[in-house]
Structure 1
Amino acid sequence: MKRLSLFTLLFALTFSIGTNAQSTDLLTLEQLIPGGNEYRNYVPRIPVNYLWSGNSLIETENDSVWIYRNPAKLREKSFLFSYEDIRAKINEDQGKVTSITFSSDGSSAVRFYTGNGVGVFDYYKKIVTVYFSYPESSDNHILSPDNELLAYTKGNNLFLMDKNGIEKQITNDVCEDILNGQSVHRNEFGINSGIFWSPESNKVAFYRMDESMVTSYPIVDMSARVAELKPQKYPMAGMTSHQVTVGVYDIDIDQVNFLETGEPDDHYLTNISWSPDGEHIYIAELNREQNHMRLNRYNSTSGDLEEMLFDEKHTKYVEPLNPILFVKSNKDQFIWQSNRDGYNHLYLYNTSGELIKQLTSGEWEVIDIIGFDNSGSNLYFISTNPNPIERHIHSVNLKNGKITQHSSFPGTHSATLSLSGRYLIDRLSAHDNPGQLSLIDTRNQKSDLLSFSKNPFEGYNVPSVEIGIIKAADGESDLYYRLVKPADFDETKKYPVAVYVYGGPHSQMVNNRWRYGSGGWELYMAQKGYLVFVMDNRGTAYRGFEFESVTHRQLGVEEAKDQLKGVEFLKSLPYVDSNKMGIHGWSYGGFMTINMLIRYPDLFKVGVAGGPVTDWRYYEVMYGERYMDMPQENPEGYEESSLLNKVDRLKSRLLIIHGDEDPTVVMQHSNQFIRACIKEGVHPDFFIYPGHGHNMTGADRVHLHEHITRYFDDFIYTD
């Protein structure tokens, strides 16, 4: 049984006492929506943060940094330095220190970041050993592992700067359609960077993307005196895509070589990783059809393809999301993540491409890797075991395969590991817990509470949130939902309903975190007397490949069947007014909102669709073709998934909202839907947010949710 410290008991007592006295005041959108002028006061915040410096526990609070050299002795800490100590060592015009990171090996070198640069502070010597001021108009800054060089981009080229401030241009592409050192493939396949330092800091790999053959999409900036064109390369499904190669700059010989990735040119180069000795680069290469992945090893000096280690195929799709991870202290073995058995699990390989063993298995998924202990014997990870709406900390022994669970409190856990692997910093959030940090001893799972967040709604009589399970349309799969009820809920009354929907891949809306993941708009609507219902249909994530891929080649079909089951469940509840139901969603949820209105035209009185996909032929190549194949390969599926050919079924009041500079779901989607409605004599409403992209930000986001709410109120009660 897990032992509870006195601090843990005090936390529980404090939290329970804090929720007794209740105010009758209602929370406003300014308090509940990001961008609101009081929003920051109503978000859970853990006041004291903890991180690792080797095996020492670091505590940061406001400007001060403390160290526990022995985590077993939490009463013994020493002051290390303050952010002001760092700021005093750099020029005032560099701005305030915004964040710090400690070295994993426990050295005294601390990286610090300001609004204008990055540097290294030695907390023993109390000096800044190096500081890089970001050059004007530069982006994508990546510091080398030895802290001696800064890689970055300016315009479409890659640059390096040494610690003396001397800049060197690495690439010299003049054509603006050729980009170096930037993220590629529209950030699919887990890609979030275009620069990759070698372990020894003597080489840097980078993406080079040629978009010259891709159609330019005409986004227009309406804020100029005369509207200005801001064209964006946007490869739509079935059309010509960009071409990507990988370059390697060798600093010692001042030379760039490109890896011989070969033909065809429109494949996907994903999940780049270096070997520990820096001699090899590994790439998960995926064909355009996204059904065949090859893990290839290249010589980082010559660029030659040395070997294909293994491949993975699937009749639907293969989606590599994580680079290989070399086993600590063993340069001949690495970890590969794959859902080849139906769930994302860990596999141990050698560098010859031979599978040594599958390390994890079962009807649950590995979500994230925390890291190895110092010996490399045990690998720590986050998974959905034993509950798909929770996240727990586990470790697996690479030799005997034993799996140990290190977290026991229900909820959503994440963690960082000390160098030795003896201790974990565990961050937990649960439906009744806004957040806490604990120290776990991995030998006996003893947990000591370090810091916790107060309930940001303390003193308010807020709506309740409950969860449950219903069966999917297939009669077998369990679907999780949450239901938000007014604080003064009376089961003898009838309530209008707002269904909030997303329903697309890589999503999970319902999970055991603070208030079951319920957002500010849901709370606000429940305050106004609505029931708010959210459900994860088949096609969403973390439930296995079959659960997610059931939508392949027919997006919107099976999801709608499941959402219908959710509505039928709502209508079975005696306190639901089935004549006063509305639905709202954004992006994929915008697509699902309109999809539900036209597939089941008698269910909802009102719908609000934000940034909706209305025809997958207008969506981008990588995402669209993974789930739908090309339009020329799957014309029936595209027709069935399109909303444009079904507008004559629309009976409900519908408001479509779009940012006029949306680079993700381009406004052509909404325009074509409106055009189809005009042709059929249908009358939806349309609202544009000028200057905004795929999401509204700042104060306009508050305006957005007020506008959505008004539309519900205006039409949900009309006869």
Structure 2
Amino acid sequence: MKKLVLSLLLLSGAGIVNGQQKNLSMLDAMSNVRTTLAPAKLENLQFLYGTEEYLYTKKVNNETVWFKGSAADQEGKPFLTLSQLNQKLSTANQKAQKIMPAIRFNQEKNWIITANGSTLAFNPVSNTFTVITESQLAGKDKAERSVAGYTAYLENYNLFVSDGKTAKQVTNDGTGNIVYASSVHRDEFGIKKGTYWSNDGKQLAFYRMDQSMVADYPIIDWTSRPAKNVNIKYPMAGDKIHEVTVGVYNTQNQAVVYLKTGVPADQYLTNIAWSPDDKFVYIAVLNRGQNHMELKQFNAQTGNYIKTLFEERDDKYVEPLVPVLFLKNDPKQFIWQSNRDGWNHLYLYNAQGKLIKQLTKGKWEVLEVKGFDASGDNLFYESTEESPITKNLYVVNIKSGKSKRITSGFAVHKTEISTSGNTVLDYFSSTKNPGTVDLIEVKKGLKKQLFQAEDPLKDYKLGESSIFTIKGKAGDAIYCNLFKPVNLDSTKKHPVIVYWYGGSHAQLIRDQWNGGAGNYWFQYLAEQGFVVMVIDTRGSDNRGKAFEQSMFRRVGDVQMEDMMSAVTYLKGLPYTDAENMGLFGWSFGGFNTVDFMLNHPDVFKAAVAGGAVTNWNFYEAMYTERYMDTPQENPEGYAATNLTNQIQKLKGKLLLIHGLQDNVVLQQHTVELVKKAVDDNIQVDYMIYPGHEHNVIGKDRTHLYQKVTDYFMQNLK
């Protein structure tokens, strides 16, 4: 359900106390937050490949100019202007650019330039250009280029591979039912694409998905006259799911083999990776029950199954998310990420599948592996070791297993590491700091500040906000973020709005500027006199396996328990109006919101649920069955979470919002709930957003938040 989370992460925020006089408008909160009210930063910051020097862009006389700096010269000096770039382009008979194009300096020795739809490589030593991908190829569906110069793409449902001169049609049976080279399994298990080039760029592993056995589901296109039906394939919980295989295309002999992944056909083939010598392909194969994972090795030339390196089992579920990572200096060892001990950590294996040692350990999560240093002896990673609401960079020595923290300061750090591993660019922010960029020399432990952003809200009246924890019913520390009304009068009662999500792969509360949110809506509400609370209940991300798995087979129950703990806290504050409280959530948070309103009908006076799951029988199999098992295996759990059949318990005001073309949480959820409300003579409010899928984006997003704000203003004030 990661795709459901996008809109939710844009909602969490934090502010600072100020005594200035401006008020935020809804336009400020929802649109200007990305422009005039966004913290300044060093744009396009990156290392120059193979050096400790860094590059960034800034405006000079209204023109974008690249600047270069280093530890010795952190002020930076002009490195590349548009006129200088156009001079280089003209000598190679390339078209001049009107504005500075996107350039990547940090991935290889050549500068990679995207211009006029084409991808160019500029060699700064020979001062020559090479066309990597022509605009015609770059614009193809699912286009992906290999290091050897081949480009894979889709056309008329089939997979093609071009060497830049001629294109080879690799498959011939592609249709709407037979899908090639695309993301599979509804983008679960860390899958984001469908093609995987070998290290030398001469072999291509690709997905083939047969979804002919999956029922069609209608999504109506309302823009035509008359409206027309557009079918999608949507495998619901307990029903037939698509069948996936993996092919390998060899550009040298133009042959295709399919890996012999075996039966049953309704298994999940996840986390595809190549061996360093490109002889083997590794796949984390997960059963449909998602409680048994086997890391399997296949011969890339024959497709034959070689062996299972190791297995992971769990009485609830296993969720592989990251492929194997072979060591830079030893092709006979690799790193595997797993939460088998309760927290996501790094494990070192040999190529035969024997565990050598656990590299990281503790009650915290490894969030991302950033890569090796030049020697390959050390691996950089980001984790929550300091706190669940911060992120820091660490480095672990592969041989000794000893880790060292690189970044400092209680904040969320985003880092880039030089090719050598000797220098780190560290961008970080906190709820009190809109953004800092430091340059860190790893071995010396030296740190130099390159940039400090000014507070973009310094002229605005803001409510005081604070992050803290409350104790949940099960004893867990539950993180909350509380926004007090502007000019709070603690002798008066103020209406309350609570926002939540409470599902996996989402964390709303982080100690970074504005909580990482894309808007200032919470502060806007504080200006309107509301107390606002954001809460991360059990089920949320980055708190360990037990915290997330607590909702297994009965989603919503632990979330409601934690919400009741938050309600108790809120009622204990002298300035909150317990008779006028509102609840808001989107997607999984929308489900939680409706669930709470029906099962605790006397707590919140009004609620808004957007894109809400109201019957898990109607949600996609890959996500639902992980947390709920199938309807056949868990009929009691599905019955208890079928909110449609409980609508008669509603007492407060409820606004349901749905994108009319939602292909993630189907609008059938809301329609079914509304129909049952009508049948039972229960009043609910209903708003649709034509043209939008699961997330309401663009200019209509401001309309959405005005709608939600108005609803709470009408019912709570």
**Shared topology, TM-score over 0.5?**
yes
Q: Which residue is equivalent to 1:153?
A: 154
5 Å-filtered alignment, 1:544-563, equals 544-563=544-563
Secondary structure, in 3 states, of the residue corresponding to 1:457? coil
CA–CA distance in structure 1, aligned partners of residues 557 and 713 of structure 2? 29
Q: Which residue is equivalent to 1:436?
A: 436
Q: 1:115 to 1:465 in 2, by over 3 A?
A: farther
Given that 2:67 and 2:76 are in contact with CA atoms closer than 8 Å, whether structure 1 keeps it comes out as: no
Cα deviation code 1:527-575 (max 9, x no counterpart):
1111110111111111110011000000011111101111111011001
CA–CA distance in structure 2, aligned partners of residues 81 and 128 of structure 1? 17
C-alpha displacement of 1:95: 8.3
**Normalising by the residue count of structure 2, what TM-score does the alignment of the two structures yield?**
0.93
Are 1:139 and 2:134 matched, yes or no? no
Given that 1:48 and 1:59 are in contact with CA atoms closer than 8 Å, whether structure 2 keeps it comes out as: no
Secondary structure, in 3 states, of the residue corresponding to 1:135? helix
Q: Which residue is equivalent to 2:22?
A: 25
Given that 2:514 and 2:520 are in contact with CA atoms closer than 8 Å, whether structure 1 keeps it comes out as: no
CA–CA distance in structure 2, aligned partners of residues 233 and 104 of structure 1? 38
Cα deviation code 1:286-321 (max 9, x no counterpart):
000000000011111111111110010001000000
Q: Which residue is equivalent to 2:111?
A: 110
C-alpha displacement of 1:431: 0.8
C-alpha displacement of 1:473: 1.5
CA–CA distance in structure 1, aligned partners of residues 153 and 87 of structure 2? 27
Q: 1:93 to 1:188 in 2, by over 3 A?
A: farther
Q: Which residue is equivalent to 2:231?
A: 231
Given that 1:47 and 1:453 are in contact with CA atoms closer than 8 Å, whether structure 2 keeps it comes out as: no
Q: Which residue is equivalent to 1:246?
A: 246
Q: Which residue is equivalent to 1:50?
A: 45
Given that 2:174 and 2:180 are in contact with CA atoms closer than 8 Å, whether structure 1 keeps it comes out as: no
Cα deviation code 1:245-273 (max 9, x no counterpart):
11111000011111111111111111111
Secondary structure, in 3 states, of the residue corresponding to 1:303? coil
C-alpha displacement of 1:347: 0.3
Q: 1:58 to 1:221 in 2, by over 3 A?
A: same
C-alpha displacement of 1:637: 0.6
CA–CA distance in structure 1, aligned partners of residues 626 and 506 of structure 2? 16
Q: Which amino acid aligns with 2:528?
A: K
Q: 1:608 to 1:258 in 2, by over 3 A?
A: same
Q: Which amino acid aligns with 2:27?
A: E
CA–CA distance in structure 2, aligned partners of residues 619 and 495 of structure 1? 38
Secondary structure, in 3 states, of the residue corresponding to 1:658? strand
C-alpha displacement of 1:481: 0.2
Given that 1:438 and 1:449 are in contact with CA atoms closer than 8 Å, whether structure 2 keeps it comes out as: yes
Q: 1:221 to 1:95 in 2, by over 3 A?
A: farther
Q: 1:208 to 1:715 in 2, by over 3 A?
A: same
Task: Compare 407-416 and 457-466 and name the one that shifted more.
Answer: 457-466
Secondary structure, in 3 states, of the residue corresponding to 1:524? helix
Q: Which residue is equivalent to 2:323?
A: 323
Q: Which residue is equivalent to 2:566?
A: 566
Are 1:677 and 2:672 matched, yes or no? no
Are 1:397 and 2:400 matched, yes or no? no
Given that 2:221 and 2:229 are in contact with CA atoms closer than 8 Å, whether structure 1 keeps it comes out as: yes
C-alpha displacement of 1:490: 2.4
CA–CA distance in structure 1, aligned partners of residues 232 and 174 of structure 2? 18
Q: Which residue is equivalent to 2:275?
A: 275
User: What stretches of structure 1 of length at least 5 have no aligned partner?
Assistant: 1-18
C-alpha displacement of 1:50: 2.5
CA–CA distance in structure 1, aligned partners of residues 75 and 22 of structure 2? 41
Q: Which of the pair has the greater relative contact order for Cα pairs under 8 Å at 6+ separation?
A: 2
Cα deviation code 1:159-210 (max 9, x no counterpart):
223334x333222224321111111111111111111111111111111111
Q: Which residue is equivalent to 1:262?
A: 262
CA–CA distance in structure 1, aligned partners of residues 672 and 332 of structure 2? 54
CA–CA distance in structure 2, aligned partners of residues 248 and 94 of structure 1? 39
CA–CA distance in structure 2, aligned partners of residues 97 and 679 of structure 1? 60
CA–CA distance in structure 2, aligned partners of residues 671 and 38 of structure 1? 34
Q: Which amino acid aligns with 2:365?
A: E
Q: 1:226 to 1:76 in 2, by over 3 A?
A: closer
Q: 1:458 to 1:570 in 2, by over 3 A?
A: same
Given that 1:243 and 1:266 are in contact with CA atoms closer than 8 Å, whether structure 2 keeps it comes out as: yes
Are 1:478 and 2:477 matched, yes or no? yes
Secondary structure, in 3 states, of the residue corresponding to 1:145? coil
Q: 1:606 to 1:22 in 2, by over 3 A?
A: same
Secondary structure, in 3 states, of the residue corresponding to 1:42? coil
Given that 1:48 and 1:451 are in contact with CA atoms closer than 8 Å, whether structure 2 keeps it comes out as: no
C-alpha displacement of 1:115: 6.5
Q: Which residue is equivalent to 2:186?
A: 186
CA–CA distance in structure 2, aligned partners of residues 171 and 86 of structure 1? 40
CA–CA distance in structure 1, aligned partners of residues 419 and 17 of structure 2? 42
Q: Which residue is equivalent to 2:9?
A: none
Given that 1:86 and 1:97 are in contact with CA atoms closer than 8 Å, whether structure 2 keeps it comes out as: no
C-alpha displacement of 1:225: 1.2
C-alpha displacement of 1:55: 2.5
C-alpha displacement of 1:42: 1.8
Q: Which amino acid aligns with 1:481?
A: C
Given that 1:295 and 1:308 are in contact with CA atoms closer than 8 Å, whether structure 2 keeps it comes out as: yes
Q: Which residue is equivalent to 2:657?
A: 657
Are 1:100 and 2:103 matched, yes or no? yes
5 Å-filtered alignment, 1:193-232, equals 193-232=193-232
Given that 2:504 and 2:540 are in contact with CA atoms closer than 8 Å, whether structure 1 keeps it comes out as: yes
Q: Which amino acid aligns with 1:321?
A: L
Are 1:129 and 2:130 matched, yes or no? yes
C-alpha displacement of 1:674: 0.6
C-alpha displacement of 1:64: 2.7
Q: 1:365 to 1:534 in 2, by over 3 A?
A: same
Q: 1:98 to 1:141 in 2, by over 3 A?
A: farther
Q: 1:681 to 1:86 in 2, by over 3 A?
A: farther
5 Å-filtered alignment, 1:520-539, equals 520-539=520-539
Given that 1:298 and 1:307 are in contact with CA atoms closer than 8 Å, whether structure 2 keeps it comes out as: yes
Q: Which amino acid aligns with 1:254?
A: Q
Q: Which amino acid aligns with 1:691?
A: G
Q: 1:336 to 1:647 in 2, by over 3 A?
A: same
C-alpha displacement of 1:25: 2.3
1:60 to 46, 50, 56: 56
Cα deviation code 1:123-157 (max 9, x no counterpart):
334432114234387222222124x2222222422
Given that 1:94 and 1:117 are in contact with CA atoms closer than 8 Å, whether structure 2 keeps it comes out as: no
C-alpha displacement of 1:675: 1.3
5 Å-filtered alignment, 1:216-615, equals 216-474=216-474, 476-517=475-516, 519-615=519-615
Given that 1:54 and 1:104 are in contact with CA atoms closer than 8 Å, whether structure 2 keeps it comes out as: no
Number of matched pairs = 691
CA–CA distance in structure 1, aligned partners of residues 597 and 614 of structure 2? 13
CA–CA distance in structure 2, aligned partners of residues 151 and 98 of structure 1? 24
Cα deviation code 1:352-378 (max 9, x no counterpart):
001010001110010001111111111
C-alpha displacement of 1:118: 2.4
CA–CA distance in structure 1, aligned partners of residues 628 and 287 of structure 2? 15
Given that 1:97 and 1:113 are in contact with CA atoms closer than 8 Å, whether structure 2 keeps it comes out as: no
Given that 1:20 and 1:459 are in contact with CA atoms closer than 8 Å, whether structure 2 keeps it comes out as: no
RMSD: 2.1
Q: Percent identity?
A: 40
User: What stretches of structure 2 of length at least 5 have no aligned partner?
Assistant: 1-15, 59-63
Given that 2:606 and 2:712 are in contact with CA atoms closer than 8 Å, whether structure 1 keeps it comes out as: yes
CA–CA distance in structure 2, aligned partners of residues 586 and 251 of structure 1? 46
Secondary structure, in 3 states, of the residue corresponding to 1:558? helix
C-alpha displacement of 1:486: 2.2
Given that 1:94 and 1:116 are in contact with CA atoms closer than 8 Å, whether structure 2 keeps it comes out as: no
Are 1:644 and 2:647 matched, yes or no? no
CA–CA distance in structure 2, aligned partners of residues 174 and 385 of structure 1? 47
Given that 1:47 and 1:452 are in contact with CA atoms closer than 8 Å, whether structure 2 keeps it comes out as: no
C-alpha displacement of 1:78: 6.6
CA–CA distance in structure 2, aligned partners of residues 85 and 434 of structure 1? 38
